[in-house]
Structure 1
Amino acid sequence: MDAAPVATKPPAGVGVTSVAVAMARARETAREAPLFRDPFAAAFVAAAREWLDVPGEDNQWDSLVAWVDLFYSRGVVRTRFIDDYLAAATAGACGQVVLLGAGLDTRAFRLPWRAGVRVFEVDTAPVFAFKERVLAGAVATPACPRTIIEADLRDDWAARLDATGFDPSVPTAWVAEGVLPYLSVGEARHLLTVVGDRSAPGSRLTFEHTGKGRQAATVAASTARALSLPGAGKIGAHFKGGLGPTGRDWLAGAGWTTRAEDRAEVGRGYGRPDVRLPGGEFVTATRD
């Protein structure tokens, strides 16, 4: 779905990575047999390009395109995996969904939600300033009650979430899609501690994890390859490591039952093996 140029700039810093994720979703949607369809992704891409594809040193577009070329398979498999995770969670006990670092996520608009499910999106004000303008231009209508919370995940985002009608007594499906690597170990664990404090029994959580041992070494090599791309340093400068190699063990000790699925196996299951950036796992956790 195309949209007219948007006056609001796309987010800078870590936020610009959400444009790359939208680029991957737009590319996937255009395929003959896509893993998912996002009718709004192309509008985000077109609006962002107005600002990012410019002459000279300020051009970020070429590096984003190169980044998407490398991460494409991983990104679209992750999107489909989380789509399926949310379908299963909300078909069960979870009546709330919280997207942490939501970026340009459009699941509130593009997924079929059962009656009673409410989606909360948490991200910074610059992200939503751009996102809401593009969605308005695309005449997008959410398929469920949707609430945005303008907050940095390193600050007191939870108080703002609570103030919008979030009910911690209701099982919740939490999504931390691609956000943890931009936090330090301490920040990531604090974030998930706050999540745990607001998670009723039966709540669920999903995120990507590097794993340990050989798997962690494979992910490190893949990341180094990605950061060698021209212009990738601007993106890589924001990486802080996330939960660290023992993050899943830490989460299990914090009141969650965890399950890990090898990212490569998940990709093969969807018919999308990722030979360019192997390694890593998808973690799904259930609150005890």
Structure 2
Amino acid sequence: MTADVSKDHNVFEEVAKTARWTAAARARESRRGDRLFDDPLAELLAGPEGAELLTHFHPPHAAKEGNPFLPIRTRWFDEFLAGAVGPGHQVVGLGAGLDTRSFRLDWPENTVLFELDQPDLLSYKESQLDSSGAARRCECHRVPVNLAGDWTAALTGAGFDPARPTVWFAEGLLFYLPEELAAAVVRQAAGLSAPGSRFAADLIGTGIFRFPYLRSFLGKLEDAGSPWRFGTDDPRGFVENCGWRVDEVVEPGEPRANYGRWPRRAAPAGFRDLPRSFLVAASART
């Protein structure tokens, strides 16, 4: 499903407004005694605006705890990266936003991380983090790009080597893009991937756009200029059609995406009008 898009050139400027929201969610999780991860820089990056967005986007009964999927998603991506990245690998964060994994994860020797996102967002991130005194744990290059443009040239210009194994991750990105653009980004990543490369992304099902309980939330995203635009009920097929071999598709509530936090079972597979989220891990085709 693809929402109507009249000004695609504004997509990435709009998505930046949600970055502080997700940073605030990571900060809130980091304050929990039973936290699934620790992100000491998230509160700095979120700022007052991020904390306000947490209250704004969540209904009153969920304002304190928030969406349980967000910390589950972050933990799942952390574990994917820990298992996929080996010594000397490249890592590319597509739409990296205010991600802080270059500071908070233990990376193998000679890991090189490339963070791709819009220039203004990366500039804000750099100004905040560079003044924090925090030390990165791997070599990191911020690459300002518009993913609707020739981002692959900017990536290679920043030192990316297509001959080296690469681990790509697109966390909280693809459903903000028109379907054709989301597919193009995933396909281009596959085209730049040497044998041994991996890919991970989260996707949403089309039922999210039809579920009555989420209409208010989706309307708030629309009003903020950051609408969700694309969902698929076949995440495996979507990623494989973009040139990858899918290794795993999990939903929150399943054993591999639970961590004792999901309040119910995963949604039954036959109910297409329920809100569904998918975590997809894939490998380069040889």
Match in the other structure for 1:178: 172
Per-residue deviation at 1:66? Answer: 5.1
Counterparts of residues 76-225 of structure 1 (less than 5 Å): 76-91=71-86, 95-211=89-205, 216-217=206-207, 219-221=208-210, 225=213
Match in the other structure for 1:264: 253
The yes-or-no answer on 1:23 pairing with 2:18 is no
Per-residue deviation at 1:233? Answer: 3.2
Taking the aligned partners of 1:107 and 1:205, their CA distance within structure 2 comes to 16
**Which SS does the other structure have where 1:208 is aligned?**
strand
The residue type equivalent to 1:263 in the other structure is P
Taking the aligned partners of 2:233 and 2:203, their CA distance within structure 1 comes to 8
The residue type equivalent to 1:287 in the other structure is A
Taking the aligned partners of 2:151 and 2:71, their CA distance within structure 1 comes to 28
Q: Summarize the Cα distance change of 1:129–1:249 in structure 2 as closer, same or farther, 3 Å threshold.
A: same
**Which SS does the other structure have where 1:228 is aligned?**
helix
The yes-or-no answer on 1:241 pairing with 2:230 is yes
Count of residues paired in the alignment = 262
Q: Provide structure 2 residue ranges, at least 5 long, that are not aligned to the other structure.
A: 1-11, 266-273
- Higher mean alpha-carbon deviation, 257-266 vs 104-113, is at 257-266
Q: Provide structure 1 residue ranges, at least 5 long, that are not aligned to the other structure.
A: 1-10, 54-59
Per-residue deviation at 1:39? Answer: 0.6
Match in the other structure for 1:56: none
**Which SS does the other structure have where 1:207 is aligned?**
strand
Is the Cα–Cα contact under 8 Å of residues 221 and 228 in structure 2 kept in the other structure?
no
The yes-or-no answer on 1:42 pairing with 2:43 is yes
Taking the aligned partners of 1:248 and 1:197, their CA distance within structure 2 comes to 18
The residue type equivalent to 1:272 in the other structure is R
Taking the aligned partners of 2:107 and 2:275, their CA distance within structure 1 comes to 32
Per-residue deviation at 1:236? Answer: 6.8
Q: Summarize the Cα distance change of 1:72–1:266 in structure 2 as closer, same or farther, 3 Å threshold.
A: farther
TM-score (norm 2): 0.82
The residue type equivalent to 1:209 in the other structure is L
Is the Cα–Cα contact under 8 Å of residues 54 and 66 in structure 2 kept in the other structure?
no
Q: C-alpha deviations, 1:70-105, integer Å up to 9, x for none?
A: 8531111000000000000114x7701100001100
Q: Summarize the Cα distance change of 1:192–1:268 in structure 2 as closer, same or farther, 3 Å threshold.
A: closer
Match in the other structure for 2:3: none
Match in the other structure for 1:7: none
Q: Summarize the Cα distance change of 1:158–1:272 in structure 2 as closer, same or farther, 3 Å threshold.
A: same
Q: Summarize the Cα distance change of 1:274–1:180 in structure 2 as closer, same or farther, 3 Å threshold.
A: farther
> How many percent identity over aligned positions?
32
**Which SS does the other structure have where 2:249 is aligned?**
strand
Is the Cα–Cα contact under 8 Å of residues 77 and 267 in structure 1 kept in the other structure?
no
Per-residue deviation at 1:65? Answer: 5.9
**Which SS does the other structure have where 1:148 is aligned?**
strand
The yes-or-no answer on 1:284 pairing with 2:281 is yes
Taking the aligned partners of 1:157 and 1:274, their CA distance within structure 2 comes to 39
Taking the aligned partners of 1:21 and 1:101, their CA distance within structure 2 comes to 13
Per-residue deviation at 1:37? Answer: 0.2
**Which SS does the other structure have where 1:263 is aligned?**
coil
Per-residue deviation at 1:148? Answer: 0.4
Match in the other structure for 2:9: none
**Which SS does the other structure have where 2:127 is aligned?**
helix
Q: C-alpha deviations, 1:111-159, integer Å up to 9, x for none?
A: 0111111110000011012111111221122110000000011111110
Match in the other structure for 1:4: none
